[in-house]
Amino acid sequence: MSEAQRRAAVLGASEEGGTGWCIAETLAAQGCHVTVGARRIEGLTKLASQISGMPAQCDATVESEVEAFVATAAGEGQLDCAVLVAGAGIRGTINAMPAEDFEHCMKLNFHAAVHFLRHAARRMKEDGAIVLMSSIAATNPWQGYFAYGAAKAALQTLVKYAAIEFADRRIRVNAVCPGPISTPAARYLVDHPRAGAVVAHEVPLGRVAGPQDVADAVAWLCTAPGWITGETIHTDGGMSLRRPPDIDAIAAAFAAQD
């Protein structure tokens, strides 16, 4: 790593072909030295070798591990940008979700963002950028995802508070808000010949996002716009202008015989 290289941290990047993986690749292609983190080290090692970056194992729900991850990424210097991708759409209704599932959902999708913001900002240079990952479930209620949607709505409010708190150091804090993304974990749905069509029908631009669509927006917020902060940018092809896909229609699409 040269002294002139920008330092970036991406937490939640162990799934090959996933959104975090693609964000790390995109930032590396733009000249950043990228430290990648996740709970599983295997995928991280492969990704880091491909982008000449550094792997660091980290559970985003454990603040001490987040602090150590950010310190590793900053090294002897300071971070230029930091991206939190870790999260999961945990399902359940208000009436029936077990307390432990609710608590885990909030820890992973909201508390982790607080940990990440706190420690990334402490290790970031002036004029740096922090980007968090929200979800369309925060703005367009998606049946069965109340905890996930509520956590991501809280995250979007957190972005506004953080943008004000860190403005004196000119650290910009923003979020991207995707709809469904065609990642390896979601392809059972979005690439299904019938169920995927139900999902894509609610996207005005006519298709579900790929990881690169989201990565391009994240990289743009990390590197280019010096006067954008406190914003949540929808990267959903316009899905937020319509309704979420109908879960009964999706179930029927899976159940239909070929």
Catalytic residues: 148
The separation between the first and the last C-alpha atoms of the chain, rounded to the nearest angstrom, is 53
Query: C-alpha distances in angstroms, 22 versus 8, 78, 85, 138, 254?
Result: 14, 23, 11, 23, 29
DSSP H or E segment with residue 70: helix 63-74
Under 8 Å between Cβ of 59 and 84: no
Tokens 């000119």 sit on residue: 170
Q: Is 216 left (phi over 0), alpha (psi -120 to 50) or beta?
A: alpha
